[in-house]
Amino acid sequence: MAAYIAKRLLAAIPVLFGLSIIVFLIMAMIPGDPATAILGSYATPENVARLNADLGLDKSLPQQYLIWLGNLLQGDLGRSYALNRPVLDEVLERFSATLILAGTALVLCSILGLLAGVISAVRQYGLADKLITVLVLIGISTPSFWLGLLLILAFAVKIRLFPASGMYAIYGGGDLPDLLHHLFLPALTLAVVATGVIARLTRTAMLEVLRQDYIRTARAKGLTERRVIYRHAFKAALVSVIPVIGIQAGFVLGGAVYIETVFQWPGIGSMLVNAISTRDLLLVQGGVLVVAATYVLFNLAADVVQTILDPRLR
């Protein structure tokens, strides 16, 4: 197993390289002159030329990439001109907040989604199934940013049960209960869509598995129905749901952009939105790169879990 994990980690390296190329290219295809963008349209041509040279923009594209990559590997993502601090520092600081939010949402949607999917499949066409199906449909049709606003109106403005924004209370906060108090609404909002998707796929996977010959064998052996469903069928269904959870990690990490904006959560998503509107491109680049790399690791973890469950993949 350790060998397999090592192999998978090695295989992730080209993917990370690919990511860096795509991020670099996207930034390189920006229309207009970054130096002008940074210095503003009143900058003198000399200043622009000097900054271009400083940024290495007078070199060829592959050369620029190699320089950029070299800096990247040394942990140098450049400086954010709007914040006037190293991009890496800002990104890492923001990233922990995003990880808390997205991680909580991911755990939440996995548990709720699997649970709802299994119940739905076991009670196919029953009341619970119909209810879950409708809820799931509503969940995946609701714009999460709108849902966030509704929840703020309901729970922060009307009944004042949860705070409307931020990660900690401004005065006297900072401990775990305070964090959880602030985390509840955004994490829930972020989890809704992914829960729906996971529930749907779990239901389909369970129904598919329950028709397999080996389930008939399990019943023919005289196993209890509980064991048939929760051991034999669920394990097989889980194998096909795990990669979906991996993909949902991407949706949750990406969806954090909206939720952080709505709840003013000090994470990387709200940072990115601000950076895009201020054209702070190095900050955008750094943020995208770090989040994408995290996502690759999430998927890797999903792969490993799937392989542990399914001996045929080894």
Partner 1 sequence: MSDTAAPAMPARKKRGGGRPSALRLLLNNTLATTGLLVLVLIILIALAAPFLPLPDPDVTAPADRLLRPLADGHLLGTDALGRDILSRLIWGARVSLAVGISATLIAAFFGSLIGLVAGYAGGRVDALLMRGIDMVMAFPYILLALAIVAALGPGLLNALYAIAVVNIPFFARNIRGITIGLSRREFVDAARLSGKSNARILFGEVLPNVLPIIIITMSTTIGWMILETAGLSFLGLGAQPPQADLGSMLGDGRKILFTAPHVSIIPGLMIFVLVMSINLFGDGVRDVLDPRLKSGALTRPVARTAVERARVPERQPHKDNVLDVVDLNTQFHIGSSVYRAVGGVDLHLKQGECLGIVGESGSGKSVTAMSLMGLVPTPPGRITGGAAWLEGEDLFAVSDERIRQLRGADVSHVFQDPLSTLHPLFTVGDQLTEAIMAHRPIKRSDADKRAEELLRLVRITNPTERLKVYPHELSGGMRQRICIAMALANDAKIIIADEPTTALDVTVQAQILSLLDTLRRESNAAILFITHDFGVVSAVCDRVAVMYAGRIVETGRTQDVLENPAHPYTGKLIDCVPVLGQPERRLDAIEGRPPVVDNLPAGCAFADRCPRAQADCRAGEITLSPFGEDRAVRCLHPLERGAAHA
Of residues 81-110, which lie at the interface with partner 1 (CB under 8 A)? none
Structure tokens that stand for 311 in this block: 């001996």
**Interaction of residue 245 with partner 1, rule CB under 8 A:** no
**Interaction of residue 62 with partner 1, rule CB under 8 A:** no
Q: Out of 13, 107, 111, 138, name the contact with partner 1 by CB under 8 A.
A: 138
Which positions from 212 through 241 interact with partner 1, judged by CB under 8 A? 212-214, 216-225, 227-228, 232, 235-236, 239
Q: H or E stretch including 86?
A: strand 85-86
Q: Provide the phi-psi class of 32: left if phi over 0, else alpha when psi is between -120 and 50, else beta.
A: left
Q: Out of 183, 198, 284, 302, name the contact with partner 1 by CB under 8 A.
A: 284
Which positions from 140 through 159 interact with partner 1, judged by CB under 8 A? 140-146, 149-150, 152-153, 157
Q: How many CB atoms lie within 10 A of CB 147?
A: 21
Sequence-ordered list of residues with C-beta below 8 angstroms from that of 39, at least 6 positions apart, any chain: 47, 48, 51
**Interaction of residue 116 with partner 1, rule CB under 8 A:** no
**Which residue carries 């991009």 as its tokens?**
87
Q: What is the largest CA-CA distance in the chain?
A: 85
Which positions from 22 through 61 interact with partner 1, judged by CB under 8 A? 22-23, 26-27, 29-31
Residue type at 264 in one-letter notation = Q
182 vs 270, which CB is nearer to partner 1?
270
178 vs 208, which CB is nearer to partner 1?
208
Cα 73 to Cα 289: distance, rounded to the nearest angstrom: 12
Lay out the site mask for partner 1 across 157-196 (x = CB under 8 A, - = otherwise): x---------------------------------------
Contact 185, 162 (CB under 8 A): yes
